Structure 1
Amino acid sequence: MDRTEEEFPGIGAPARRALNRAGYTRLEQLDGVSETDLLRLHGMGPTGTDILSDLLNARGMSLEP
């Protein structure tokens, strides 16, 4: 398991690559990021943002709607 799989568990490879290309390598970096902005990333879809939202909420953080 690579570091991005550890940071973004349950996220598919295309979405992880999209996050990395955008400079997101740690879950904490997504706190306050717009869900709309994430959906604009090639490879990121609604399932990915739902998973990220759940992961963030579990740590007391969130995406912006």
Structure 2
Amino acid sequence: MINLVIMSKSLNSIYTVNYDSENTFLQGVIAMPARRALEKEKIDSLEKLSDYSEKEILQLHGFGKNTVMKLKNHMKEHQVFFKEL
């Protein structure tokens, strides 16, 4: 049990160092792996996201049908849509 407490404290300190609190784009909408993939592509707004097709976004790490559906619903609420091919 003591080892678990020590490990937990170690992981918390690692998580705190690596956590980027400024990256809030789509926080609560899609999971972190998909958000990191968008960040890697320098997509940090819905306007930039609208420059991509759904097919292009599906090719990114962390994106599957469920994530894209969540993303499309969020975009629709803000009247932004994927690029048509």
TM-score, normalised on structure 2?
0.63
Aligned residue-pair number = 64
1:14 and 2:33 aligned: yes
Structure number, greater radius of gyration: 2
Q: Which has the higher contact order (CA 8 A, sep 6+)?
A: 1
Would you say the 8 A contact 1:15–1:45 is kept in 2? no
Percent identical across equivalent pairs?
Answer: 28
1:45 and 2:64 aligned: yes
**Unaligned 5+ runs, structure 1:** none
Q: Which amino acid aligns with 1:22?
A: E
Moved over 3 A (4+): 1-5
RMSD of aligned Cα (Å): 2.0
